[in-house]
Amino acid sequence: MNKTELIDSLKEIIKPYIQDEAAFQNLTEDTKFIDDLKINSANLVDIVLDVEDKFDIHIEDDAMENMLTVKGAMDIITDKIGAK
């Protein structure tokens, strides 16, 4: 899966939880889930669970703490898929 495909998959997962449509339309790797997309911490957990299902991976508590930005999420997913 290339970078564009990965971002597209992520966007599909996070779309139901975003509260700032403009920030979502202008999403980049640097976009922050909570600060920019106004997602709350509970829905960020939902995103992590959806990511686990979508990519068939398991994310630990420590790893989630790095999942604050789109890039952070991409790094974790890439890392976990690579380790499979």
Partner 1 sequence: MQNIRETRGLEAPRYVMTIEKIISVLPYTTPFLFVDNLENIDENGVTGTYTYPPESYFYKGHFVNNPITPGVILTETMAQIGLVCLGIFLMKDKIEETAEFPKMAMTSNQTDYFLPVYPGEKVTVISRKEYFRFGKLKCQVEMRNEQDELVCKGIIAGMIARK
SS3 43: helix
Cα–Cα distance between 60 and 65 in angstroms, integer?
9
Contact with partner 1 (CB under 8 A) among 5, 25, 42, 56: 42
Residue 23 lies near partner 1 (rule: CB under 8 A)? no
Cβ of residue 25: shortest distance to partner 1, in angstroms? 25
Contact with partner 1 (CB under 8 A) among 41, 53, 82, 84: 41
Cα–Cα distance between 24 and 38 in angstroms, integer?
10
Residue 64 lies near partner 1 (rule: CB under 8 A)? yes
Task: Using CB atoms within 10 Å of the CB of residue 82, give its burial: 0 to 12 exposed, 13 to 18 middle, 19+ buried.
Answer: exposed
Residue 1 lies near partner 1 (rule: CB under 8 A)? no
Residue 28 lies near partner 1 (rule: CB under 8 A)? no
- Site for partner 1, rule CB under 8 A: 40-46, 48-49, 61, 64
